[in-house]
Structure 1
Amino acid sequence: MDVGVGTKDVQAELDSVEAELELVELQITELLDKQAQLTSQKNALLLQLEEACGTVRPSSSKSLGPEPMMSKQELQQYDGTDFPWSKEVEQHLKNSFHLSKFRPLQLRAINLTMAGKDLFLVMPTGRGKSLCFQLPAVCSKGFTLVITPLVSLMEDQIMYLKSIDISAVMLNASSSKEHAKLVMAGMMDPKAPFKLVYVTPEKIAKSKLLMSRLEKAYNAKLLSRIAVDEVHCCSQWGHDFRPDYKLLGILKRQFPMVPLFGLTATATSSVLKDCEKILCVQQPVTITASFNRTNLYYEVRIKDSDNDALMSDITSLIKGKYKDQSGIVYVFSQKDAEMVSSELKKRDISAYPYHANMDPEEKSKVHRRWTCNKIQSHCRC
């Protein structure tokens, strides 16, 4: 057999399959768009019927049809403190989160989501995006569903929330059956044993049981809000595209009355437009904060091609400029994470690898110790 000819045949078949897959993905996208349009049309017709029959929708309910874009003046109205929830928000800011005041645009975002608006918030890391859904969660009935791509992000936020006595739980691939069962049952508890439920996008995409529980919580008016962290991961134009994020449109289709809150530190207008379509959100309010970070310092250094010299440079930087501080060394692969952490240990630096193939318990242990400054550096890819 001619190996060259066989390889060409396989390659030709592979190209054909890939082309067909692209066509199927395009058809799926078109069908999802069509479904969103029909859902919007259906909801608008239902609203017309209710009005014709004299049915008055409660003032706290969210309109089923698309809302017009807000002007700058209309947005500024949400900077105020004269809303029905304002007093409770202020109390929890001080008593639960131990903060004396809001940072720029936080109050506006909180008021918008409390008012039931779909919202995209583009705000740099460190400006307090998480508070914009955590605080409303505490002030709302039921719980807020938070979708985030990384277990480390979940653990960070849950550790912080527990430290200030706010109940939050997470569900991911490493969750035990017993833990998952408790969380699922808690979603149906009117007394809300937790205020935030953190899940990965994969959990939404693959767990029919979770979707079933969310449906029941929605019908019982216990699902108060859906927060999609790192929302740019929805878009293939985004820098951290995650395929399972493309399936999150089911949430708005299944739970049209629940406000959706997308958060990201960086996304262009085209990426956000893509996210609107994927998440089936029509005309969300978009808030964009300034990206000027006066507290950040950037420095570019020439990388030495000799590995020992490179490790010596990293060591001197950690022991010198960042003495007694914890930090992260980013690398390209899991193998590099193992190697770099091992080399740093040889140089008397408390460093550990941190990557997806680690044992979940060990990974969580490393994360907790690093957060408490018991580990000076962890190496992640």
Structure 2
Amino acid sequence: MEEATLLNTLKEYFGYDSFRPLQKKVIDSVFAGKDNLVIMPTGGGKSICYQLPAILLPEITLVISPLIALMKDQVDGLTANGVPAAYLNSSQQEADRQAIFQKIDKKELKLLYVAPESLQFIDKVLTEGKISLIAIDEAHCISSWGHDFRPAYTQLGYLKNRFPSTPVIALTATADKATRSDIAQQLNIPKAKKHVASFDRKNLSLEVRPGIKRFEQIANFVKNRKKESGIVYCLSRKTTEEVAAKLKAKGFKAEAYHAGLNHEDRITIQDEFINDEKQIICATVAFGMGIDKSNIRWVIHYNMPKNLEGYYQEIGRAGRDGLPSDTLLFHSYADVVQLQRFASNAANEEVQLAKLDRMKQYSEALTCRRKILLNYFGELKQEDCGNCDICQNPPAFFDGTVIAQKALSCIFRLKGSEPISTIIDVLRGSQNEAVLSKNYQKLPTYGVGKDISWHHWQQYIIQLINIGYAEVAFHKNNHLQLTKAAKNVLFEGEKVRLAEVPDRKTVQEENKGSLKKKDNSLFEKLRQLRLKIAKEEEIPAYLIFNDATLKEMEKERPMTDDEFLQINGVGRQKMQDYGYRFIKEIIAFSKEKREQKPAKKGNTHKITEELYKEGLSVEEIAKKRNLANTTIFSHLLKLYKDGENIDLHQFVSKADLEAIKKAKKDLDNPGSLKTYFEHFEEAIGYETLKVALRILEKEE
């Protein structure tokens, strides 16, 4: 097909002057009659890859799509663009179906959308000569290795057998290597040309926080975003309604969205969100498929998703216009337990549990989060992104080259045929059945890592997976295998930086202090000033200065015009428009800090109590008193025991408290904290256990 014709069609029906990366290659391949597998992230323009050819091809294009709502949105969009399209599903009347069949006979339709369950309706009507193209949307649904397996999709392989000369195009936003291969095999298109777009959405910031006092954190997150659209994803219908009700009570335009609502209500809520009449949707994961809203500015996961594919697809609904957008994920031990329960007894239980484990590892990572996501989808990146919480608050690193070489060499010696647990056992020289029965004690790497604990080896190997030197083969019993990048470490002398694995107590102390520590920062004050100016001028806040520029102001503290001009993102015009007000705020903040007198040293519980009542966090009190966080924590525990008004519940989630309460009953002889620690497989730290047990002790 001539390029001029393609560009004219693109402009006339879709309004674009040029193709996005990969779209033109896919479309050319379709016109060449080849089968294609397209992996293109949400917002990347997958639909055009088959919709544009459908307009120019002589016969009808058949589109298999999983959801009625998704089909309706697509057909409505095409119809609005002047493209004749229709959809068939089981809810339609027979007369409606016959009217569509008549249009097909008269060649009045270009695209026909059908759910896989409704294929029998078109069986008698369509013959080989009447189909120019078959498109399988959300193609990951066919694979049990995929994140959203649907049994009805498994029958679709017959389409290629029935129409061997008709090109098939399979499309999905997210699929790892195993899933891609499985899609091609099951659809009987093993030689399909694979097109994989970049998964790198640089405009999305990535942040993960512990799931403690989630609603308070969400309310704080959205309070300065009242005019921005966002989605809060929850695991249950009940949670969507609870969060939406609390947000409404605080004055936000929020609604719950889930499958329990009737069809009319779902459509109304969806339309209100698309038209900016409602700012926040609290939804289960079904919401968002096919929602073409480009200005969603943030996505929050109230609960942890069940895998990285789903997580990536859901955060991908933010910032489709390319502007800076935020994502926030809460994680907790209780979420993991709940998701494990959901996965149990599923046909692909082992795969689901392994993918959940990778999701958990992402949540607890010490490595650049974007790098983890990209490496997971096979897009290996060596450099850090600078736009995630790990990059902005990096852990301490050390030269971990020797550790990496030992681990990667062990994976190599085991020929990529063992899971992480066996690899660690070999490295540590364990003499258990898994090692001795296969003579692994004779390997050169046996026992080379005796000096490193099991937990630390686990964390280091997870880092190596996250960085991209190894990968989990989900379709091969979750065995660890080397990637191409590993040879650079093993044979080319490439250095590896590993993050120091912190004690769990340290991590928890930092998390507990994090809720309040930024409230009075210079960055927050500059952000408030930016919001005030934005409201005055009625323009988006990011057009004044973006967050990166404010961060640099916080770091550099410019107090003259010349210094202010040196900040990245500050031009002459912005200096003239806003410089005076921002410099004034920086000078005022610096003066306030100088005037603050350091607190007197002391080790009494009463000084801690006074500071606690002033609203300071554990971390802030420790810093002010020049004491360890653990010392301040012990003060609060004693004060609570003595009957003082200390809210220990803020340091432990309801779910963790319930889990510990149950464990206290179930364990025959709870004994020490270590018993509980081991019972929860180290997932709940010592400080949380101390708090929970102190609360339960008082309740009893």
The TM-score with structure 1 as length reference comes to: 0.69
Match of 1:195 in 2: 110
Are residue 314 (structure 1) and residue 226 (structure 2) matched?
no
The counterpart of 1:329, out of the listed 224, 229, 232, is 232
The counterpart of 2:271, out of the listed 364, 368, 377, is 368
Note the C-alpha offset of 1:338: 2.9
CA contact (8 A) 1:152 1:367 kept: no
In structure 2, what residue type is equivalent to 1:196?
Answer: L
* 3-state SS in 1 of match to 2:97: helix
* Aligned counterparts of 2:14 and 2:249: Cα–Cα separation in 1: 41
CA contact (8 A) 2:226 2:252 kept: no
Q: 1:240 to 1:254 in 2, by over 3 A?
A: same
CA-atom RMSD, angstroms?
2.2
In structure 1, what residue type is equivalent to 2:26?
Answer: A
In structure 1, what residue type is equivalent to 2:268?
Answer: K
Match of 2:182 in 1: 274
Match of 1:352 in 2: 255
Q: In the TM superposition, what are the counterparts of 1:3-18 in structure 2 within 5 Å?
A: none
Are residue 286 (structure 1) and residue 189 (structure 2) matched?
no
Note the C-alpha offset of 1:236: 0.3
The TM-score with structure 2 as length reference comes to: 0.39
Match of 1:297 in 2: 205
Q: Which runs of 5+ in 1 are unaligned?
A: 1-82
Match of 2:32 in 1: 115
Name the % identity: 38
Match of 2:121 in 1: 209
In structure 1, what residue type is equivalent to 2:124?
Answer: S
* Aligned counterparts of 2:96 and 2:244: Cα–Cα separation in 1: 32
Match of 2:83 in 1: 166
The counterpart of 1:104, out of the listed 6, 17, 21, is 21
Match of 1:35 in 2: none
Match of 1:138 in 2: 55
Note the C-alpha offset of 1:152: 3.9
In structure 2, what residue type is equivalent to 1:276?
Answer: A
CA contact (8 A) 2:60 2:110 kept: yes
Provide runs of 4+ in structure 1 moved above 4 Å.
none
Q: 1:152 to 1:87 in 2, by over 3 A?
A: same
Match of 1:380 in 2: 283
Summarize deviations over 1:48-83 as a string: whole Å, max 9, x none.
xxxxxxxxxxxxxxxxxxxxxxxxxxxxxxxxxxx3
CA contact (8 A) 2:132 2:167 kept: yes
Q: 1:287 to 1:342 in 2, by over 3 A?
A: same
Summarize deviations over 1:117-170 as a string: whole Å, max 9, x none.
110011222221111111111111232222222334334433432332223222
Match of 1:92 in 2: 9
Match of 1:42 in 2: none
CA contact (8 A) 1:137 1:196 kept: yes
Summarize deviations over 1:309-363 as a string: whole Å, max 9, x none.
x33432343342x332323221112232333333333333333332233322332
CA contact (8 A) 2:37 2:184 kept: no
Structure of greater relative contact order (alpha carbons < 8 Å, 6+ residues apart): 1
CA contact (8 A) 2:37 2:192 kept: yes
* 3-state SS in 2 of match to 1:146: strand
In structure 2, what residue type is equivalent to 1:139?
Answer: L
* Aligned counterparts of 1:317 and 1:231: Cα–Cα separation in 2: 35
* Aligned counterparts of 1:319 and 1:214: Cα–Cα separation in 2: 54
Match of 1:262 in 2: 170
Q: 1:378 to 1:283 in 2, by over 3 A?
A: same
Q: 1:361 to 1:376 in 2, by over 3 A?
A: same
Aligned pairs, number: 284
* Aligned counterparts of 1:237 and 1:259: Cα–Cα separation in 2: 24
Q: 1:295 to 1:214 in 2, by over 3 A?
A: farther
Q: 1:159 to 1:346 in 2, by over 3 A?
A: farther
Are residue 127 (structure 1) and residue 44 (structure 2) matched?
yes
CA contact (8 A) 2:23 2:49 kept: yes
Note the C-alpha offset of 1:251: 1.5
Note the C-alpha offset of 1:227: 1.0
* 3-state SS in 2 of match to 1:187: helix
Note the C-alpha offset of 1:173: 4.1
In structure 2, what residue type is equivalent to 1:290?
Answer: S
* 3-state SS in 1 of match to 2:92: coil
Q: Which runs of 5+ in 2 are unaligned?
A: 285-700
Note the C-alpha offset of 1:275: 1.3
Match of 2:161 in 1: 253
CA contact (8 A) 1:113 1:259 kept: yes
Note the C-alpha offset of 1:115: 1.7
Q: 1:264 to 1:183 in 2, by over 3 A?
A: same
